[in-house]
């Protein structure tokens, strides 16, 4: 049983204002790639942003120096953002998908088990196909990763769209895009029913029966995650509903499969800021403050989450999860200073195992 933590990216270093939007994956070759948005200017969503990456060859213990993976100047004067990965262990490929300027989307791939990727290729056409049904002005992918379905080999990743023509990002809708030919072509799926407004930044997992579960951030002020299911990950999404067990401070959260039943037990992980403080000294609700980053474990395909462990009780925001060959669980997350509410002073890596997580007391949520 163990728990370790180290900082991988720190504000005001490497020539950047700050680092946000963590992502992490384990390649088919066993290397761990940790990536981030390296932000210039004031560090806002629409400022100039590059994508940087660090690599570990010992399952997250030691790391290479940060390397520039994508330079915004190759695309224009704006942000590269929402960098996601889909790891195809069957074929030894890491697919990367990302956006530029909330208006264009691209994909590239690595086949060497490392962080050497092909030249990016534009796939904005998959998003333009939504316009007949939803006239979006803003597009984004993920976060932080997509999946490969076991039986069909379909590559699948959540996306969100906004009809806004400004930087407000609202209103918005969730859907998926997918590829049935190993990433050569990408197509749109169906939009999640517009019953709960302002859904975005979704995570997705395949369930044991082959269906897909999407877990979404909501912007309606109800502090719970929103979930929807699809039989194939691209169509017939169920009516979105609140998950009363998963508190939501209006922030990205990570849904990730740890193991399948044929591995011994089906396990899902969910990680997000789980703020339970309630009221501040003035009586105002502070559930929306991003703190108390927690990880939960489900043994019944997300129906219940009986195990919960706090990764960081302080200010914390976005997160990403990965599983190493030695079954270590890696969580790369935004960590703030103890003196303030900012959740982006560091991107920190927590490294722990299932025994550490399951030793926690059974949650009453």
User: pLDDT tens digit string along 75-85?
Assistant: 999 999 999 99
Q: What is the mean pLDDT of the chain?
A: 93
Least confident of 106-110, 247-251, 292-296: 247-251
Residue 342: the pLDDT is 55
**Coarse DSSP helix, strand, coil percentages of the chain, rounded to the nearest 5 percent:** 5, 45, 50
Token readout for 74 is 């190759």
Q: Residue 340: pLDDT band by 50, 70, 90 thresholds?
A: low
Residue 29 has pLDDT above 60, yes or no: yes
> Residue 118 CB: number of other CB atoms within 10 A?
11
Residue 106: the pLDDT is 99
Q: What is the DSSP string of 78-133?
A: SBEEEEEEEEETTTTEEEEEEEETTTEEEEEEE-SSSS--PPPEE-THHHHTTTTT
Residue 139 near residue 99, CB atoms below 8 Å: yes
Element (H, E) at 295: strand 291-298
Closest to 84 (Cα-Cα) out of 138, 24, 125: 24
Backbone angles phi, psi at 23, to 5 degrees: -145, 150
Residue 243: the pLDDT is 96
Residue 280 has pLDDT above 60, yes or no: no
Q: Please, which residues bridge with residue 282 across strands? A: none
Token readout for 179 is 């590829």
Residue 339: the pLDDT is 52
Residue 83 vs residues 105, 247, 313: alpha-carbon distances, Å: 10, 25, 27
> Residue 128 CB: number of other CB atoms within 10 A?
12
Q: Residue 115: pLDDT band by 50, 70, 90 thresholds?
A: confident
Residue 47 near residue 40, CB atoms below 8 Å: yes
Residue 284 has pLDDT above 80, yes or no: no
| pLDDT tens column, 154-179 | 999 999 999 987 767 789 999 999 99
Query: Which residue do the tokens 């877990």 mark?
Result: 215
| pLDDT tens column, 297-337 | 999 999 999 999 999 999 999 999 999 999 999 999 999 97
Element (H, E) at 357: helix 354-358
What's the N-to-C CA distance of the chain in angstroms?
A: 24
**Average pLDDT for 238-257:** 95
Question: Cα 325 to the chain's mean position, in Å?
Answer: 21
Residue 52 has pLDDT above 70, yes or no: yes
Rounded Cα distance, 159 and 176, in Å: 5
Residue 150 has pLDDT above 90, yes or no: yes
Residue 283: the pLDDT is 47
| % pLDDT > 90, the chain | 84
| pLDDT tens column, 190-220 | 999 999 989 999 999 999 999 999 999 988 7
Q: Residue 295: pLDDT band by 50, 70, 90 thresholds?
A: very high
**Average pLDDT for 42-63:** 97
Rounded Cα distance, 26 and 76, in Å: 30
Q: Residue 261: pLDDT band by 50, 70, 90 thresholds?
A: very high
Question: Domains in the chain, please, with CATH?
Answer: 5-358 (2.120.10.10)
Residue 92 has pLDDT above 90, yes or no: yes
Residue 282 near residue 290, CB atoms below 8 Å: no
Closest to 175 (Cα-Cα) out of 154, 156, 194, 189: 189
> Residue 105 CB: number of other CB atoms within 10 A?
24
Dihedral (Cα; 191, 196, 201, 205), 10-degree rounding: -70
Residue 311 near residue 356, CB atoms below 8 Å: no
Residue 122 vs residues 69, 168, 189: alpha-carbon distances, Å: 17, 25, 18
């Amino acid at each position: 049983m163990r728990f370790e933590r180290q900082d991988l990216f720190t504000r005001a270093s490497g020539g950047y204002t700050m680092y946000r939007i963590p992502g992490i994956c384990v390649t088919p070759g066993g290397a761990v790639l940790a990536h981030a948005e390296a932000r210039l200017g004031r560090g806002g969503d629409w400022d100039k942003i590059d994508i940087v990456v660090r690599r570990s060859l010992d399952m997250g213990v030691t790391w290479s120096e940060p390397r520039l993976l994508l330079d915004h100047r190759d695309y224009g004067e704006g942000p590269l953002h929402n960098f996601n990965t889909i790891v195809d262990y069957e074929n030894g490929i890491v697919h990367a998908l990302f956006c530029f300027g909330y208006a264009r989307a691209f994909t590239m791939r690595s086949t060497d088990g490392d962080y050497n990727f092909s030249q990016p290729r534009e796939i904005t056409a998959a998003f333009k196909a939504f316009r007949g049904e939803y006239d979006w002005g803003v597009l984004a992918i993920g976060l932080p990763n997509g999946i490969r379905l076991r039986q069909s080999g379909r590559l699948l990743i959540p996306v969100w769209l906004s009809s806004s023509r400004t930087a407000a990002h609202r209103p918005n809708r969730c859907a998926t895009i997918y590829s049935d030919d190993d990433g050569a072509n990408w197509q749109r799926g169906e939009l999640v029913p517009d019953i709960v407004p302002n859904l975005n930044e979704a995570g997705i997992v395949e369930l044991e029966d082959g269906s897909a579960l999407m877990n979404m951030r909501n912007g309606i002020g109800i502090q719970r995650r929103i979930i929807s299911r699809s039989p194939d990950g691209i169509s017939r999404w169920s009516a979105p509903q609140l998950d009363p067990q998963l508190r939501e401070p209006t922030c990205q959260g990570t849904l990730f499969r740890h193991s399948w039943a044929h591995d011994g037990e089906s396990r899902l992980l969910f990680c997000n800021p789980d703020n339970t403080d309630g009221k501040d000294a003035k009586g105002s609700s502070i559930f929306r403050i991003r703190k108390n980053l927690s990880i939960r474990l489900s043994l019944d395909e997300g129906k219940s989450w009986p195990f919960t462990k706090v990764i960081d009780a302080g200010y914390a925001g976005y997160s990403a999860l990965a599983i190493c060959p030695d079954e270590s669980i890696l969580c790369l997350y935004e960590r703030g200073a103890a003196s303030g509410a900012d959740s982006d002073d560091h991107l920190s890596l927590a490294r722990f195992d299932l025994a550490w997580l399951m030793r926690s007391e059974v949650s009453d949520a």
